[in-house]
Amino acid sequence: MFFTLRRGKSVQAGITVCCLIAFVLFGYDQGVFGGILHNDDWLRQFDHPSDTLTGFIVSCYNLGCLGGCVLNFFFGDILGRRRAIWLAMGLVVIGATLQTTAFHVPHLIIGRVITGLGTGIKTSTVPMYQAELCDHTTRGRLVSAEVLFVGVGIVIAYWFDFGMSFVGGAIAWRLPIAFQMVFALMVIVLMFALPESPHWLFNHGREAEAVDVLCKIYDMQPTNDHIIRERTAIIQAIGYNGAGNTSKSLFSIFRNDNVRTGYRVLLAWGIQFMNQAGGINLVVYYIPSVLVQNVGTTTRTAQILGGCINMMFMFGSILPSLALDRMGRRKTMISGCLGLSICMLLVAALLSQAESPNGHVFATASIAFFFVYMLIFGMSVNCVPWVYVPEILPLEARARGTALGVSSNWLWNFTVVMITPVIINRLQWKAYLIFMATNLSFVPIFYFFYPETSNLRLEDVDLLFSNGGDPVQNGREMSKVAVTGGLHRSSLSGDSKDAAGLAVPGSNQKGRVEMLEVA
């Protein structure tokens, strides 16, 4: 170990800083390549690739990210959280090195795919790692802060590229690509001082190590009531998730069991679909082109406006990083989708008048709603899915379920990136109505199917799905109780209690919840 951190707040701060740097890297990776595609030296080096080849060079990164999620699905629970993060950062370093030293298109593509593999593993591990090593009362804020720092990474990449565009030569594009390695190496070093997830350790029979990690995080002794409650809740959740489960195959996460694991995996997959299908990458990837083609700005003006619009994404993410646990997941997501739908409707309405006598005025006015769109997205649909996926899944399925959920993000990221230039060119202003409709459709879907998870321990989320009622209604009731004092299981049908007074699942496969206690 290169260095150590003191117990308690120092360890908690180290975990948070490490996760934030990892997501700065995520944002930087997302944004860095878009700014070098028009660099003269880059174009000469790769023989002025066609639009189709350029599209593949850009999108092969997303395919690599999808592949990284697939790798994490099969191997993430075997590796554990720390080793998965190390693997992810190692792949990013290798991929960035290959991209920086590329002199031919195949060389560049291989580097981007390898970087994507690392990003896929990283994005399906880091939010889960943070969620499992923080208190339930701060989980929403801390994971939302990671997403805020995605915006920081995008802004750094955008303006770094913009500044280097005045330098010229190979360094103008090779240096921004190489800079990815700085963030990755910082995470690699920090991880040496950080613990493994206690949830993963408990789930792999390493109880003594898990208790030691809990004590280190909270700076308490093993006999402390809080440590006993946390330990018992995790052990109980492991036993309850596994009660009556004879299938330990990789695809057992799709089963219809006591805690409705398959349904919850579908919710995780769906919410990441919502993150991408509302048109965000139309703005992140293509806003300069959109401003030139649809609004009529100059290229340089479009670049500056594009950078400012992307900064709104970052500013919008500040609020949930401070208050998401008070805002709630459902209200934030529902109001956000509604707001995004209105923005897309207004953009379409204004651009539809672009050919009228005062068309320039209408087109210019539409820019304001791109700013508002990014602000609302940062406040809502940007952050909630990354928080929601690891917390909605049961422990037994968390690693594979998170990998599958995040794979939805990358699959639809790739799809939207590929189709956006086509629909913008062919449909013009009508293209924005498609994204208006998708955002609007998410409002009733989230209202009727997605339960509230704010202020619940990860283990308590199982109760939303295990008592035979409507998970959404259960979530409303449990969240209200949790805000007043917190929840724990006090009685499960057919189960016995341990020394802490919490139920430990026995042989009863139904495991019906009979009572909730206010802690």
Residues 336, 378 contacting (CB under 8 angstroms):
no
* pLDDT greater than 70 at residue 348: yes
Task: Please give the pLDDT value at position 299.
Answer: 74
Residue with tokens 């998170």: 402
Task: Please give the pLDDT value at position 460.
Answer: 86
Task: Please give the pLDDT value at position 248.
Answer: 57
Strands 513-518 and 487-492: antiparallel
Mean pLDDT of 350-369: 86
Each residue of 322-346: pLDDT tens digit?
Answer: 888 888 999 999 999 999 999 999 9
Task: Please give the pLDDT value at position 82.
Answer: 94
Q: How many residues does the chain have?
A: 519
The one-character DSSP state at 501 is S
- CA distances (Å), origin 168, targets 42, 97, 154, 241, 342: 10, 20, 22, 58, 41
CA distance 53 to 68: 23
Each residue of 263-309: pLDDT tens digit?
Answer: 999 999 999 999 999 988 877 767 777 777 777 778 778 878 888 88
Each residue of 28-60: pLDDT tens digit?
Answer: 998 888 778 778 898 899 998 887 788 788 888
Mean pLDDT of 452-466: 87
Question: Which positions ≥6 away from 201 have C-beta within 8 Å?
Answer: 207, 209, 210, 213
* pLDDT greater than 90 at residue 380: yes
Task: Please give the pLDDT value at position 519.
Answer: 34
Pick 247-445's CATH classification: 1.10.287.110, 2.40.50.140, 1.20.1250.20, 3.30.230.10. 1.20.1250.20
Task: Please give the pLDDT value at position 440.
Answer: 97
Level-2 CATH architecture, domain 1-194: Up-down Bundle (1.20)
Each residue of 211-250: pLDDT tens digit?
Answer: 999 999 998 899 888 889 889 888 887 776 654 444 456 6
Each residue of 65-103: pLDDT tens digit?
Answer: 999 999 999 998 899 999 999 999 999 999 999 999 999
Each residue of 461-497: pLDDT tens digit?
Answer: 888 888 778 899 888 888 777 655 555 544 333 344 4
Give ∠ CA 494-499-500 in degrees, rounded to 5. 95
Task: Please give the pLDDT value at position 247.
Answer: 47
Mean pLDDT of 507-512: 39
Burial of 50 by CB count in 10 Å (0-12 exposed, 13-18 middle, 19+ buried)? exposed
Task: Please give the pLDDT value at position 495.
Answer: 44
Return mean pLDDT, the chain: 84
Question: Which positions ≥6 away from 117 have C-beta within 8 Å?
Answer: 64, 65, 67, 68, 71, 91, 95
* For the chain, percent of residues with pLDDT exceeding 70: 89
pTM for this prediction: 0.81
* pLDDT greater than 80 at residue 513: no
Task: Please give the pLDDT value at position 417.
Answer: 78
Q: How far is CA 263 from the centre of its chain?
A: 20
CA distance 254 to 389: 15
Q: Which span out of 279-283, 304-308, 412-416, 498-502 was modeled with the highest average pLDDT?
A: 412-416
Task: Please give the pLDDT value at position 250.
Answer: 66
* pLDDT greater than 80 at residue 2: no
Mean pLDDT of 173-198: 94
Task: Name the CA radius of gyration of the chain, rounded.
Answer: 23
Amino acid at site 303:
Q
User: Where does the chain hold its CATH 1.20.1250.20 domain(s)?
Assistant: 1-194, 247-445
For 447, the 3-state DSSP assignment is helix
Mean pLDDT of 387-412: 90
Task: Please give the pLDDT value at position 249.
Answer: 63
